[in-house]
Each structure stands twice: as structure tokens, then as C-alpha cells.
Structure 1
Amino acid sequence: MTFHAGTYQHRCASGEGFPTAVTGSAFGVGRQTVGNIKATSAMNAAAMDELMGDPSVGRMATFPISVMQATCYPIFAEYHETKQVLLKNHPHLHHTFDRSPFAAITVNLGPVSVSPPHLDSNNKADRMCLIGALGTFNSDLSGSTSTCGDAQNGRPRLAAC
């Protein structure tokens, strides 16, 4: 994959930054209707297609779904139902993984990438992102994170594992 200089600076990057690649479908942030997220180049689209088609990546991406179902079922059910309705009504939309309730996937590409606590303006405020780490990972310096809506105040809370 190749990236222009601007892709290294975004709300999750710090220091020198790191690029991200996104695939799937989305609505909002300037879009007037739901549509596919476009890759920054044909080469990047092919690389994301290859990544999304890798069975190991699919297993890693869908592994935490059962935990999401068990711990945050109302959120899972809303995501899943919304995605199914969108795919039925807009068959041209790209989908992520069959078992995933998420309409889009963002891949943060290292060698050093972070996912700080954040609110995603593209999602509902009380919703979550599932995060997985690959490569060299030092749990003494950091921890894996997940977010789940806080029923008391409607805002996400960060849970470090």
C-alpha cells in the first residue's frame, strides 16, 4: 500500500503518525446517502480486498463478536439489524465480514499505531469500536482496549484489559 503524506495525520495519530486504510460502507460526514467508502488508490483497494479475503484476518476480526453479543447485546442487535437492512435495501454496498455487525473496518498501519480514547463522530455517541492488535505488542507499556456504552450517562467508557 502507498499513502500520500496527509494520510499520516489524523485524529488517532500522534508524533510522526501512521496511515489508516478503511473499507465498507458509511453515511454522514458530507455523504447525502449511504455509500461505499472509496480507497485512496486502486493499489490500496486491491490490498484491502486481499486483507479482507484472508481467512485469518476474518477470524481475528470476528473473534470478539461473541463477547460483544454476550456483554452488549442491545448494541450488537442494533448494529446487526441496521447492517442487514442496509445491505438488503442497497445491495451495491460493500460488506465487511459475514459475522460482523460493523458496516466498516479501519486498519491502523504501524509500525507504531495507537487508538486513544475517542468519540467517533461517524457513530452514535454511546456505541463502540472493537480493537485488535497484531505484531509486536508489549502489554506492560499498553493494554488492549474496548469501549461499551455507559448506561448511566450515555457516553462510552473505556475498559482496559
Structure 2
Amino acid sequence: MFAEIRLTPAPHSACIVLLDTKDRIVAVLGGVPPASAGLGWDENTAKLTAAMEACYKGSKFSKKQLGGRRGQFASRTVGYGYGNGRRLPLNYKVSGKANQAAVQELLEDQAVRRVMGFTNSLFNAFAHKIYKEYQDTNTQLLSHHPHLRSNFPEKTVFAALTLNLGPRSFSPPHMDADNCAGGWCTDTPAGNYDPDKGGQLVLWDMGLVVRFPPGSSILFPSALITHSTLPIQEHETRYAFLQYSSGGLFRWRANGFRSDKDVLATASPEQKSEYEAEQGSHWKLALQKFTRWSDLVNGDWQGKRRTEAGLDEASDLSDPDSNRKEETKARASKKRRQ
């Protein structure tokens, strides 16, 4: 059974958080910036739609770029990533002068940059520790590998941007396995479509159908949650602006800017055992980076009290009651040491 969540025009700025059973914020239905709700953001959405439409019309696409497992529409990826045969982090290639010019014009568009700024702010506000991991990884990779190109220098923590250029973009159920499993992606649609008759985002594992108007933004872990977009009407257009970072980038940085293969090639048996043990515990550490709703309500949106209590490296913080008990014990122990 599915429940419906409506990001409605009034209030268009409504922001809804989705929690798991253990008090973690796992997704944010961000709506639009509150200060820009109404005509101000509607105008930005119209400009975003025009920019993506111009990019589509000014580009040429290979057969592969006109359809795939995520749907039958034109797409373009820019930025950088690691994995799928790459031996080190590399920029996604955009071939042809016309395509390069079309993409560059889109990246410099002010409506696009406003969306980028808003979604990064949402990410920081509702998943601060994950955001910081993205920020640190992005900064270090760009510093260590000068050949890498940021889509929005010093303005985004995401390494890559995929443009679903439609002109009728909607997707069957899928997960984005290349994305960082413990992280979030952003999804902002544009176009001219009726959100009551199509374009809804379906989060299958949560049993939710989300009304998804043009210009609104949603952040969620697309590598973990099966999701799809419902078809729009035949005469309508729909585009999408997606930001994310591939999981391989985080492994590359954690390995000292080396691949798993290179690390294991020179490791002793003891080091290999330790490495495998660390790999097996990554999911627990990733869970602990998700912001707790109770922390946010209490004004600790950065989770500083949890960090100071020594809980960031605890083995399992899945139960809110045990969280509080462990936090009390950690604080008592800290006072005794002092």
C-alpha cells in the first residue's frame, strides 16, 4: 500500500523530513526556498526550464545517451567520478564543441546556480555530518588531482551532475548503485507538466508517492531506496537536475588516493585482515552520520553533542533509547576522567 505526500503550491515552500524507525532523517522533501516562494521561485523555475530546453536543443546525443535503464530520454553527465573501469578519478567526457558549449552555458545560468545553492544548503542543514564528508572529500580530491573539474567551484560538495534533458523524462523503478550508499543525491525537476497528472516521485521501499512540482527539490539516498518517476502527459515536457557523488570517490580518498586493488597488493596478511574488517564496519559508521530528528529539534543540527559524547565511533546507534543510555554513560565517563 502506498501513501501520498503532496508538495503543494501553497505552501510551495513546505519542507518535509522522512524518518526511519530509529529517528534518523533519511530524506528531505525540500520544496523551494521559503524566502523565494511564489512568483519569485516560479520565475526561477521558468528560467531553469528554458536553460535545460536550450541545452537539449543545442546538443547532439549518441544512441546510448538517448535511453537506458533509467528511461527513454536524453541525458548528459558532467563533473567527475571514479569506478566502472576508471583507474583513477576522471572527468566525465562531453564530446563535441557544440555539446561542450551547451553544457557550459547551462552551468553558468543563474537559475541553475540558485538551485545548486538551495540544495546544498538543504543537505548541510538536514545531514550535516554527511555533508561534511562530501565537502572534505571533494576538497581533497580537487587539491590532489588538479585535472578534476568541479561543476560549481567552491559552491557545491557534489562531484557530478546528471541532466535529464527529456524532453519527457520519467524513470522506471531503479536504484543508483554507483552513488555513495551512505550519502544523498538531489533531484530537482523542471519543465511544463501538471504535477497532479504525472511526474510524481515514487519511493518504493517507503511506500510513498510524492507530488513533485517543477522547481521543487528532494534529497534522498538514491543508492539505497528503489525509486521511479511516473509518466507525464504526451504533450508535456519534463527535465531533471540531479547532483551526486560516486561511492568510489570516497574509497579512493580513504585509501590514500589509491584503489582497493593497489592497497591490497602491498598489504601484509595482518593488514589485509584489518582492511577487510574495516570494510565490513563501514555501514555502521555511515548510519551514525545521519542526523537524528531529536537532535535537530533540540537545536543541535550539527550533532556536536553526540560527537563530544564519543558516540560517532560507537558500534551501533540504531535504537533511540540505547542512544540516550550510551550518551549518558559516555558523558559520565568523561566527567570521571576529568
- Please classify the TM superposition score into its range, dividing by the shorter chain length: 0.7 to 0.9
Which of 146, 155, 178 aligns to 1:91? It is 146
Which of 73, 77, 80 aligns to 1:25? It is 80
**In the TM superposition, what are the counterparts of 1:37-116 in structure 2 within 5 Å?**
37-97=92-152, 98-115=154-171
Mapped pair 1:126 → 2:182: yes
Distance 1:11 1:74, change over 3 A: farther
Aligned counterpart, 1:10: 68
- Is the 8 Å Cα contact of residues 125 and 156 (structure 1) preserved in structure 2? no
* Cα distance in 1 between the residues matched to 2:112 and 2:106: 7
- Is the 8 Å Cα contact of residues 120 and 156 (structure 2) preserved in structure 1? yes
* Cα distance in 1 between the residues matched to 2:172 and 2:151: 23
| Offset of residue 68 of structure 1 | 1.2
- CA root-mean-square deviation: 2.4
Aligned counterpart, 1:148: 220
Residue 60 of structure 1 aligns to a residue in which SS? helix
* Cα distance in 2 between the residues matched to 1:116 and 1:132: 17
Say which is worse superposed, 135-144 or 22-31, in terms of deviation. 135-144
* Cα distance in 1 between the residues matched to 2:98 and 2:193: 28
* Cα distance in 2 between the residues matched to 1:125 and 1:103: 15
Say which is worse superposed, 109-118 or 43-52, in terms of deviation. 109-118
* Cα distance in 2 between the residues matched to 1:66 and 1:135: 23
Q: Which has the larger radius of gyration?
A: 2
Amino acid aligned to 1:37 = Y
Equivalent pairs counted in the alignment come to 153
Residue 162 of structure 2 aligns to a residue in which SS? strand
- Is the 8 Å Cα contact of residues 184 and 220 (structure 2) preserved in structure 1? yes
- Is the 8 Å Cα contact of residues 74 and 167 (structure 2) preserved in structure 1? no
Amino acid aligned to 1:4 = S
- Is the 8 Å Cα contact of residues 24 and 104 (structure 1) preserved in structure 2? yes
More helix by share: 2
| Offset of residue 85 of structure 1 | 0.4
Distance 1:130 1:115, change over 3 A: farther
- Is the 8 Å Cα contact of residues 123 and 219 (structure 2) preserved in structure 1? no
Query: Which deviations, in whole Å up to 9, do the C-alpha atoms of 1:59-91 show, x marking residues without a partner?
Result: 122212111111111221111110000011112
- Is the 8 Å Cα contact of residues 72 and 148 (structure 1) preserved in structure 2? no
* Cα distance in 2 between the residues matched to 1:87 and 1:48: 21
TM-score (norm. length: structure 1): 0.83
| Offset of residue 45 of structure 1 | 1.5
Q: Which runs of 5+ in 1 are unaligned?
A: none
Amino acid aligned to 2:218 = S
- Is the 8 Å Cα contact of residues 128 and 156 (structure 1) preserved in structure 2? no
Distance 1:60 1:146, change over 3 A: closer
* Cα distance in 2 between the residues matched to 1:148 and 1:39: 27
Query: Which deviations, in whole Å up to 9, do the C-alpha atoms of 1:13-38 show, x marking residues without a partner?
Result: 1xxx1110111111111100011110
Task: State the identity %.
Answer: 33
Residue 140 of structure 2 aligns to a residue in which SS? helix
Amino acid aligned to 2:184 = M
Say which is worse superposed, 77-86 or 124-133, in terms of deviation. 124-133
